[in-house]
Structure 1
Amino acid sequence: MYKYLLPLLLSFVISCKQEVPKGVNVEEVVSFLASDSLKGRATGSTDEIKSAEYLAEQLANLGYRPKGDGSSFFQTFTFKNTRDPHKEIEYIDAGDITTTGTNVIGFLDKAADKTVIIGAHYDHLGMGGEGSLHRGEPAIHNGADDNASGVAAVLQLAQKLKDSLTQSNILVMFFSGEELGLLGSNYFVKNPTIDLDKAHFMVNLDMVGRLRKDRTLSISGVGTSSIWKQTLNANNKNFKLVLKESGVGPSDHTSFYLQGIPVLHFFTGQHEDYHKPTDDPEKLNYQGISDIVAYITAICVDLDDDAPLSFKKTKNESEEVPRFKVGLGVIPDYLFDGKGMRIDGVSEDKPAQRAGLQKGDIVIQLGDSTVVDMMGYMRALSTFDEGDETKAVIVREGDSITVDIKF
């Protein structure tokens, strides 16, 4: 009899081992979300729903409980998509001319009096359209860096914090509708499923997949609490940090900042594949993503036994951005901290390309204006109209070059 029971027992043990949830594999998560089969995860699409179901399953496997609508991981919101950035979004009942987005929300209750919130948007541009920088026929915009990288990082962070934090609850969120104007995060803070008065702080990861060789990491929101700079520097082992004060920016942390919650936004920089079909999984720095997760984990653990962070208002840097009628046709290197504006990419058939500008060039003068930083570049650009001609001075491999620009 025992010879028959033993194989059955071994089979049972093996099957139990196979059911144990494995650790979060960042590369696997990105490969799934940025696959052609999901067609770019456009807000309200069936492909976004498939992504939401996948993320809910991942959270369940990590032991997080549903914290969406009712007993669900999902929080849905329906809106008319006006594409008007100056008009406040109107959330309404579903109808023939509406779109429904889906936030994915999980919660780990540590019976604490404060909650750490970590989040990332998981929607992207689908087949292109408004917001895409692709020129040509519609194509799948996989959004590996934007923002499958942030989603994968949040999942790995959720796994690490689960056992590392003992005095803070954890709310994990994946936002829909970010590409249309921070719709999912905006809806959540107006319809929260937890008491936001007990929020410790919010961490947003958006485009963290392209850590460069010099390991430059941009962190925004450091002015939203007096403790941020000290904590970020104390836990930094090997990143070149570019710290930005403002709690307002083009990503979901803004929604939480506007509710009086200290925020941080982690970002590894813009690149030539941004909002194009070429933003693919094989171009990401996966070790870099995991290194960023380890850094954020250390920060959260450091603050675990602190009282909820005090909130500080910051200057809204976006309100100071000059309006301009023309563009040079370049992707600026937002992580560059030297003198001038360094070019990280050049668009086809635009003034910069026609003038012979290249990736890596540093613009130090545009017309009569000296360019010392990004704001100086934008101020200089705002003085020109379409059809104007001027000269630009650039630094290329240490040499100064003057080129003719026609807008």
Structure 2
Amino acid sequence: MIRFARSAALASVAVLALSACGTTSEPPAQAEAEAPAAPSADYAQLMDDLRILSADDMEGRDTGAPGGERARNYIVSRLEAIGVGAPPMGRLQPFQAQGRTREGPKTFNGTNILGLIEGTRVPDRYIVVTAHYDHVGINGGQVFNGADDNASGVATMLEIAARLMAAKPEHSVIFVGFDGEERGLLGAKHFVQAPPVPLASIAMNLNFDMISRAETDGKLWVTGTYQHPTFRPILATIPANGAVALAFGKDTPQDTGADNWVEASDQGAFFAANVPFLYLGVNYHPDYHRATDDFERITPSVFQSAVELSYQSFRALDQALDR
């Protein structure tokens, strides 16, 4: 995820930041201690996806780099193993765009990854579920594995895809693993410029970026209900899961600068294109955009609770929209 750092230490490693996000602003009350735990589920594949995508051999998954290609190949293999088809334009959406590096502007060759599951009630309307798979690569000889940012979002997306193959959605769902987010939302911008379906047929974008490290405040933040207030009552009744609860904010005119996440990740491209959106993600933590954002730093039960909330959010939106 692209966020302005809160300190000089974070700024030194968040070298690719192009848009703003930040600290909490009037979060709702903490979930009560007796909130239900995550339901019994087999999370082995979820945790494997997170571990593999954030391993050292992915070399930080930089756009246009060998590690990014390895991550892309893995995600494609997982979608095919799950049985998720591709839209008519194909599984891959290559693009070329100019982004930023520490040395200045650079042209990147990136590739988005696409999947499609047809809906049962409104197959001609689409929910676009997204997560960027790139990260910042290798800096100063250190591999920035990006376990939370954003192997966690991709693993969440794959988990939702697997569940939707078992219990089909009401809307058709386009899954997109975006490339080039850290370089300036490059893949997302290309997608909205050359979408596989007309933008008018997209009911909304649901973007996952940084899902696993909710220990900071116990919240999985939902950004975008200020812009799209009809979404909030759909999600507001979803109860806390384990130690994690949904919270709404970081999207109002009062949430300025680093407190506003509306354009801080790939949902920003949909916002700019006037496509309804919601973003789900956790708050800052000490390993954000550092070489220490590793799989071992993630508490499995916290991540799994956030994944359950993410899936429940999708289901609630899928059932409520276009009625």
Q: TM-score, normalised by structure 2?
A: 0.76
Question: Per-residue deviation at 1:188?
Answer: 0.4
Corresponding residue of 2:297? 283
Which protein shows a greater Rg?
Answer: 1
Separation in structure 2 between the aligned mates of residue 236 and residue 258 of structure 1, nearest angstrom: 31
Q: 1:30 aligns with which of 50, 58, 71?
A: 50
Is the alpha carbon distance of 1:23 and 1:82 closer, same or farther for their aligned partners in structure 2, counting shifts above 3 Å? closer
Separation in structure 2 between the aligned mates of residue 141 and residue 224 of structure 1, nearest angstrom: 33
Q: CA RMSD in A?
A: 2.5
Contact 1:165-1:304 within 8 A present in 2 as well? no
One-letter amino acid of the counterpart of residue 267, structure 1:
G
Superposition map of 1:6-405 within 5 A:
25-67=45-87, 70-71=89-90, 73-83=91-101, 98-110=107-119, 112-128=123-139, 137-212=140-215, 215-238=218-241, 239-244=244-249, 245-246=251-252, 248-308=262-322
Report the secondary structure of 1:27's partner residue: helix
Report the secondary structure of 2:289's partner residue: coil
The answer to which of 159-168 and 259-268 deviates more is 159-168
Corresponding residue of 2:257? none
One-letter amino acid of the counterpart of residue 216, structure 1:
K
Question: Per-residue deviation at 1:306?
Answer: 3.6
Separation in structure 1 between the aligned mates of residue 200 and residue 262 of structure 2, nearest angstrom: 20
Structure 1 gap segments, 5+ residues each: 1-21, 90-96, 129-136, 310-407
Q: Deviations over 1:10-61 (max 9, x none)?
A: xxxxxxxxxxxx9871211111111111111111112111111110111111
Q: Deviations over 1:155-203 (max 9, x none)?
A: 1111223344442101111110000110000010001012221112211
Contact 2:118-2:169 within 8 A present in 1 as well? no
Is the alpha carbon distance of 1:65 and 1:23 closer, same or farther for their aligned partners in structure 2, counting shifts above 3 Å? farther
Structure 2 gap segments, 5+ residues each: 1-41, 253-260
Is the alpha carbon distance of 1:149 and 1:57 closer, same or farther for their aligned partners in structure 2, counting shifts above 3 Å? same
Contact 1:74-1:102 within 8 A present in 2 as well? yes
Corresponding residue of 1:132? none
Query: Percent identity among equivalent residues?
Result: 28
Q: How many correspondences in the alignment? A: 268
One-letter amino acid of the counterpart of residue 300, structure 2:
Y
Q: TM-score, normalised by structure 1?
A: 0.61
Separation in structure 2 between the aligned mates of residue 76 and residue 145 of structure 1, nearest angstrom: 25
Contact 2:61-2:135 within 8 A present in 1 as well? yes
Report the secondary structure of 2:64's partner residue: coil
One-letter amino acid of the counterpart of residue 193, structure 2:
K
Runs of 4+ in 1 over 4 A off after TM superposition: none
Contact 1:222-1:229 within 8 A present in 2 as well? yes
Contact 1:122-1:176 within 8 A present in 2 as well? yes
Separation in structure 1 between the aligned mates of residue 188 and residue 292 of structure 2, nearest angstrom: 27
Question: Per-residue deviation at 1:304?
Answer: 2.8
